[in-house]
């Protein structure tokens, strides 16, 4: 690995190697949203009925995917519009409960589409951020070579646990990983995740740790609403993806202008955690 990049965040140790970033951070104006406070965004997310909210979420996501050149993702998102009657009352009640608790809901394509297009999506689906009082789109992301090889080969572990069809991801857009998941080693986080699956269990909802495509989409959706990128001072660890041959685990963060998908140590850190989410797919 190359030498670590300078630590731009005093409270956030550099846990990975990176490469020089020279991409232009300018975005097309049609994709740039004005900055808003977290409280303003969450309040607006709670407005209207759940059906109205889900329709807005589908349309917003489809536009973002289209603007990013991810047409198969946009088609997959809009498929959910015709499948609303296939969500059970229990699923809808759970999503409404989570929405009122401040979580956001957005559509994603199923496992097959994600697996085939992961590398392309990781390069094109970029968050927005504020710099010099101007809203901009992120630079090209950094990929640890192990992660890039997994994407290029369409490795099945990148979509393990993801429904085969389009689904809604439901999770808290917190600035840092899920409370209680930090200060734990990889093995401790896996045990913690098993406990979360039991305590959060709900009919026809998949409770799991977020995967890379979900993290990318979360960053894009949240910042399109006017928020700033998440994990600016922390790292999200993808604990369900197998370790690399050199005993590294995949971490992701916002690295002051771009997303970084990095090599990380398996030991416990106060700034490294897991993002727990719910996956909700239409019923057969």
Domain-by-domain residue ranges, the chain?
35-280
pLDDT at 284: 85
Tell me the sheet residues that pair with 260. 142, 253
pLDDT beyond 90 at 4? no
pLDDT tens across 9-40, in order?
444 555 544 444 444 334 443 356 678 898 99
- Least confident range of 15-19, 84-88, 145-149, 235-239: 15-19
Tens digits of residue pLDDT in 98-120: 999 999 999 999 999 999 999 99
**pLDDT, position 92:** 97
pLDDT classification of 5: cutoffs 50, 70, 90:
very low
Q: Which are the contacts of 201, defined by CB distance < 8 A and separation ≥ 6? A: 207
Q: What is the pLDDT of residue 13?
A: 53
213 versus 9: which is more confidently predicted? 213
Mean pLDDT, rounded, of the chain: 90
Distance CA 277, CA 115 (A): 19
Question: What pLDDT, on a 0 to 100 scale, did the predictor assign at position 34?
Answer: 73
Least confident of 19-28, 31-40, 199-208, 269-278: 19-28
Predicted pLDDT of residue 35 = 84
Position 42 scores a pLDDT of 94
Q: What is the pLDDT of residues 123-164, one digit of tens each?
A: 999 999 999 999 999 999 999 999 999 999 999 999 999 999
Q: What percent of the chain has pLDDT over 70?
A: 88
**What is the pLDDT, as a whole number, of residue 79?**
97
Spacing of C-alpha 78 from chain mean position:
19
Output 235 or 16, whichever has higher pLDDT. Answer: 235
User: Cα–chain-centroid distance for residue 228?
Assistant: 14
Positive or negative torsion for Cα 219, 223, 227, 233: positive
- Please measure the distance between the N-terminal and C-terminal CA atoms of the chain and give it in whole angstroms: 47
Residue 252 has pLDDT above 60, yes or no: yes
pLDDT of residue 15: 54
Locus of tokens 């026809």: 204
């Amino acid at each position: 690995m190359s030498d670590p990049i300078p630590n731009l965040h005093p409270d956030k140790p550099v846990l990975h190697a990176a490469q020089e970033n020279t991409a232009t951070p300018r975005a097309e104006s049609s994709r740039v949203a004005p900055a808003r406070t977290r409280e303003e965004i969450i309040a607006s997310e709670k407005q209207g009925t759940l059906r109205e909210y889900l329709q807005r979420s589908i349309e917003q996501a489809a536009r973002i995917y289209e603007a990013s050149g991810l047409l198969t993702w946009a088609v997959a998102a809009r498929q959910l519009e015709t499948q609303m009657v296939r969500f059970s009352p229990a699923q809808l009640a759970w999503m409404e409960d989570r929405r009122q608790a401040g979580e956001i809901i957005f559509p994603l394509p199923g496992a097959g589409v994600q697996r085939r297009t992961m590398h392309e999506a990781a390069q094109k689906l970029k968050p927005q951020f504020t710099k010099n009082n101007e809203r901009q789109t992120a630079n090209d992301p950094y990929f640890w070579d192990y992660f890039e090889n997994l994407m290029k080969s369409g490795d099945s572990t990148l979509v393990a646990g993801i429904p085969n069809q389009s689904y809604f991801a439901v999770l808290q857009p917190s600035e840092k990983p899920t409370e209680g998941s930090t200060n734990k080693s990889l093995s401790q986080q896996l045990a913690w995740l098993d406990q979360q699956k039991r305590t959060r269990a709900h009919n026809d909802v998949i409770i799991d740790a977020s995967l890379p495509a979900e993290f990318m989409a979360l960053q894009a959706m949240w910042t399109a609403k006017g928020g700033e990128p998440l994990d600016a001072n922390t790292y999200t660890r993808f604990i369900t993806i197998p370790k690399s041959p050199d005993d590294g685990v995949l971490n992701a963060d916002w690295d002051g202008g771009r997303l970084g998908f990095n090599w990380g140590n398996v030991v416990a850190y106060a700034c490294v955690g897991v993002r727990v989410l719910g996956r909700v797919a239409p019923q057969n």
